[in-house]
Amino acid sequence: MIYGIGTDLLKVERIHAAFAARGERFARRILGDDELKIFHARYARNHERGLLFLSTRFAAKEAFSKAIGLGLHSPMSWRVAQFVNAPSGKPMVKLSEPLLSWCDERGLIFHVAMTDESDVVCAFVVAETMEDSK
């Protein structure tokens, strides 16, 4: 059964401006440790690719917070929900405490889609209860 759906559409220039103003501090506020490693590697190779990564993760976290119905209120926070890729390339969410326990108590699983262009990114998250996903 669908628990919630969230989507976010974001102009990349917003993230460019925030990163220009706050730099690394902004990235550390938004990204979890695993995401931060990927961001640094991409940013080192190509600044634009790094900022697109940061933008898609920002949008994914906004979409995720809507899908679970909490917004950015405890136990949801920027760094406890990370969006990484499975070996197949499929995007997936990796949760940390206390959000991990909160989602487990509700039996939630997630489906994630993210896309980017040079000027916009979009993320879509569906939260569903495990018993109906079989």
62 is known to lie in a ligand binding site:
yes
pLDDT of residue 84: 96
pTM of the model: 0.93
pLDDT of residue 131: 72
Determine the Cα–Cα distance for residues 129 and 2; give it in Å rounded to an integer. 7
What residues make up the domain containing 92?
2-132
Angle at 34 between CA 110 and CA 120, to 5 degrees: 65
Q: What is the mean pLDDT of each run of 10 residues along the chain (134 residues)?
A: 97 97 96 97 96 97 96 92 95 96 96 95 95 55
Domains: count for the chain? 1
Closest CA to 132 of 109, 112, 111, 113: 109
State the CATH number of the domain containing residue 51.
Answer: 3.90.470.20
CB 60 within 8 A of CB 7: no
pLDDT of residue 118: 86
pLDDT of residue 72: 87
CB 32 within 8 A of CB 79: yes
3-state secondary structure of 82: strand
CB 80 within 8 A of CB 32: yes
8 is known to lie in a ligand binding site:
yes
Count of Cβ atoms closer than 10 Å to residue 93 Cβ: 21
